[in-house]
Structure 1
Amino acid sequence: MKNVFVVGLNDLNAQRLKRLRGVDDVEFHGLLDPAIVYETESFNIPAMLEVAERQLAEFDGTVDAIIGYMDFPVSTMLPLLCAKFGTRSTSLESLLKCEHKYWSRVTQAEVIPEHIPAFTAFDPFDDQALAKIGQANLAFPFFVKPIKSSGSRLGFRIDNPEDFDYAMERFRAEIDSISEPFNFVLNQIDLPEEIRAVDGGFCMAEQVIGGRQCTLEGYVYEGEVVPYGVVDSIRYPQVLSFFYYLYPSKLPQHVQNKMGDLAKTIMNHVGYDNCGFNIEFFWDEVQDRIWLLEINTRIAQSHCDAFEKVDGVSHQQVTVDLALGRRPDMPRGEGGYGVAAEFFYRVFFKDATVARAPSPEEVEAAAAKVPGTTIIPQVREGMRLSDLPEQDSYSYAVACIWMGANKQSSLLWNYERVLKGLEFEFVDIEE
């Protein structure tokens, strides 16, 4: 029996893992309480590593694999745990060349410069930051974000100096919660001098890029980079927040193939190996130009249900197989649906208190309207929306809804049907 430890394993994913291929001889074990990686933005990585290492050391059996499928801090902890216990993972250096946004851009510029925007790093505590961004030939509008972030947290479009002042205020108030744990990870390797000077307390400014956004899911097995699916990222009209993720992508096949070639080039260049990844791209249809937005060193957990519905198994298959030294046994088109999506039911407040959330019975009844639907409310009565972790800077996702259908138009119709059974109410609303 193989023992696979999963950081932050919750009930939903425990059930998904049991449905993977070739896991009859695998036993999955939770590693770290899900609440400390899902429900907070405060991460004490040394303490988390200590707890995880103690649990693994005290386990009465073999530790055959240690995996995760979440962003920071889980993604950055895995190479450290795997190195200590001799299990398979990519190197910490190759992972940080993807996750440190400035180092990642510098590395991308070495091999695919025509597919990345103009960029520069800046210190959010520097009162001359805006002037220095201008000296780097970045003019309004541009985007800013921390050197390390997740879930679009603290990402802002900057159209004027007032926007920049607001972003700087937010960075100065909140960036320590990111920089301190990320700097701990950075200190575990010898960084190039240019990169060491841009630590977790810095931010990035980048030229605005756009088009049809998508995420390419892939993996590297013994040096071979394999793309296996593209998921479209559909935004709400006129805003930056995601409405739903759609699989499979509706982009032209030649565009998807070119994205796959770019993924092979950059992942080989950084030396990433024996792990899953995903890369977010834009396709500017007017100019027929592909832009690389960012690289994530994990499968996208948000896409697990879609792959299971369309292809037959969650793409956690990739993570488990790679960790056990197997070539991933990822099927194609063997699920019960032609298309699948994760919808984000959002409210566009600055903040509010949840006065009412659907009961478990109401959630179950709403999901039953469309077979195969899963609804996970993200809020509970009495909580402030600002207490939700990993939110973008413009909205709050109060429920996640996974659905499958034969075609995209049916998905949208069914989503509206399900939504009518979910009643949320808010008070103390800050517009």
Structure 2
Amino acid sequence: MSDRNIFVVGLDELNRARLEHLHGAEHYRFHGVIEPSEVYDTEIFPIEDMVSRAEAKLSAFGEPIDAIVGYMDFPVSTMLPLLCKRFGTRSTSLESLLKCEHKYWSRLVQREVIGDYIPRFTAFDPFDPQALHHIGEEGLYFPFFVKPIKSSGSRLGFRIESPEDFEHAVSRLQEDIGTISEPFNFVMEHANLPDEVRAIDGGHCMAEEIIGGWQCTVEGYVFQGEVVPYGIVDSIRYPQVLSFFHYRYPSRLPDHIQEKMRELTRLVMAHIGYDDAAFNIEYFWDEVQDRIWLLEINTRIAQSHCDLFEKVDGVSHQQVTVDLALGNMPDMPYRQGAFKVAAKFFYRVFFVDATVTRVPSMEEIDALQQAFPGTVIALQVDVGMRLSSLPEQDSYSFALAYVWMGADDDASLEANYARLAEQLHFEFEDIVG
């Protein structure tokens, strides 16, 4: 069997190591296209230039190109259909991808089949001085949530409690939305869009009814038209704030709620026409009202969950991405990992800003990883870094480190992380509280 050439947009060493553990990886050769720093460590996305350079590199490759994949959100996710169409490799269509990633179009499509499970919503122009008035005309009143039509992570998302909150959010959006709107508009130009969607370009924002509850993510894929949800991961926040504390797998949601989420997932993804690609959908379960809400659809696996699936099921769910890109039904094991439960923890500080003066040494990191077998610690800051320079942060805190851990039960998992966190030593100066 000849080796298969798989190109990965933004391939870094952490994910190369994960990919090389996949089933069949001995027959795969992984090649990077576009440097990881261009999609990880920046908030500037010259997507037209990146697509052009990726095409040039792929065109110059002297062997067959069997797959082009990625595991990142914007801009990688939106580049893939363009590159795959150009080189004849498998991907869902650009239009079906945009029905997930263009948040206004996505809500319109969701409303057609699962209208009882989505919040009230409307689009608005952040540069329109009458924007707040128009939002009210659509029946949305304080509190509500605003975010760009194409958001990236939790960036530029705001809870609005008052006209003053809205004024602050709009000011930030006016200043920063261009970093996303311009490259996203480039992608939209390549798609066949309904007029009502084309009119709401990447410079627009969404206002949505506040939803909440127990948050989780359904990971799934579509293979030859069949929608397959294969795992549910809980997303647990710090008390009283929007920042994530950890992701936990498998979910502890009641079985009937998990099954209903799988049913909704199959319904909406089939309606969208998404095919031959991975996705995940974020949901809330409001325990008080016993109501499920669909938060958003992402057109990729959640990279944060790779280690969780490897620890619990036996292999990173990058297996799904690679298998689909090669035209194969995904070969995901189930509960064959070394741990019964796993989590990705976010070690955070809740500053407005600060300068980092100390981070844990590599010797300290290695000692902690040995003290807690199976643990992986990834620092996100360096000495001298200003926290406000960190990309892809929410509006309320900064993640200094990611910590993946496994255990035999939830109590042991959380206790082990608490012990580890006490030994992660960072120092700061010029703190703005």
Shorter-chain TM-score: what band?
Answer: over 0.9
Q: Render the CA deviation track for 1:48-69: whole Å, top value 9, x for unaligned.
A: 0111111111112110000001
Could you say which residue in structure 2 is the equivalent of 1:324? 326
| Deviation for aligned residue 1:417 | 1.5
Q: Identify the residue that residue 22 of structure 1 maps to in structure 2.
A: 24
Pairing partner for 2:225 from 223, 229, 241? 223
Contact 1:278–1:300 (CA<8 Å) still a contact in 2?
yes
Q: CA RMSD in A?
A: 0.7
Equivalent of residue 250 in structure 1, options 248, 252, 255: 252
Deviation at 1:416, TM superposition (A): 1.3
Match of 1:268 in 2: 270
Counterpart residue number, 2:139: 137
Report what 2:284 is aligned to: 282
Identify the range of structure 1 (416-425 vs 56-65) with the bigger mean alpha-carbon deviation. 416-425
Q: Could you say which residue in structure 1 is the equivalent of 2:89?
A: 87
Q: Distance in 1 between matches of 2:78 and 2:34?
A: 15
Q: Quick check: 1:191 aligned with 2:193?
A: yes
Return the match for 1:180 from 170, 179, 182.
182
- Counting only pairs closer than 5 Å after superposition, residues 9-88 of structure 1 correspond to structure 2 as 9-88=11-90
| Cα distance in 1 for residues equivalent to 2:176 and 2:310 | 37
Listed one character per residue, the Cα deviations across residues 102-155 of structure 1 (whole Å, up to 9, x for unaligned) are 000001001100000000000001111111111110011100000001211111
Q: 2:155 aligns with which of 150, 153, 163?
A: 153
> Per-residue CA shift, 1:374-403, capped at 9, x if unaligned?
000000000111111111111110100000
Deviation at 1:47, TM superposition (A): 0.8
How much does 1:279 deviate?
Answer: 0.1
Q: In the alignment, does 2:298 pair up with 1:296?
A: yes
CA distance in 1, matches of 2:192, 2:55: 23
Is the 1:369–1:417 contact (alpha carbons within 8 Å) kept by the matching residues of 2?
no
Deviations 1:65-90 (A, max 9, x none): 00001000000000000000000000
Aligned to 1:162, which of 161, 164, 173? Answer: 164
SS state at 1:110 partner:
helix
Deviations 1:320-371, CA, capped at 9 Å, x for gaps: 0000000000011000100000000111111111111112112112222201
Counterpart Cα distance in 2 of 1:12 and 1:302: 12
1:380 equivalent in structure 2:
382
Instruction: Tell me the equivalent position of 1:411.
Output: 413
Give CA-to-partner distance per residue, 1:217-249, whole Å, 9 cap, x none: 000000000000000000001101000000000
State the one-letter code of the partner of 2:228: V
Equivalent in the alignment of 1:239: 241
**Counterparts of 2:132 and 2:362 in 1: how far apart (Å)?**
48
Does structure 1 residue 203 correspond to structure 2 residue 205? Answer: yes
For the residues of structure 1 that align with 2:394 and 2:299, how far apart are their CA atoms?
Answer: 20
Structure 2 CA distance for aligned equivalents of residues 174 and 430 of structure 1: 21
The more displaced of 240-249 and 150-159 is: 150-159
Aligned partners of 2:294 and 2:155: how far apart in 1? 19
Q: Supply the AA of the counterpart residue of 2:180.
A: I
- C-alpha deviations, 1:151-171, integer Å up to 9, x for none? 111111111111111101110
CA–CA separation in structure 1 for the residues paired with 2:423 and 2:191: 51
8 Å CA contact 1:365–1:421 kept in 2: the answer is no
Measure, in 1, the Cα distance between the counterparts of 2:164 and 2:249.
Answer: 38
CA offsets, 1:10-62, max 9 Å, x none?
11111111111122211111111110011001000111011111111111211
Q: Secondary structure at the match of 1:308?
A: helix
Aligned match of 1:343: 345
* Counterpart AA for 2:44: S
Match of 1:112, SS state, is: helix
Rounded Cα–Cα distance in structure 1 between residues aligned with 2:369 and 2:428 = 22
Q: Distance in 1 between matches of 2:115 and 2:409?
A: 37
Question: Which structure 1 segments of 5+ residues have no match?
Answer: none
Instruction: Name the amino acid aligned to 1:403.
Output: M
Q: Distance in 1 between matches of 2:398 and 2:10?
A: 23
Q: TM-score, normalised by structure 2?
A: 0.99
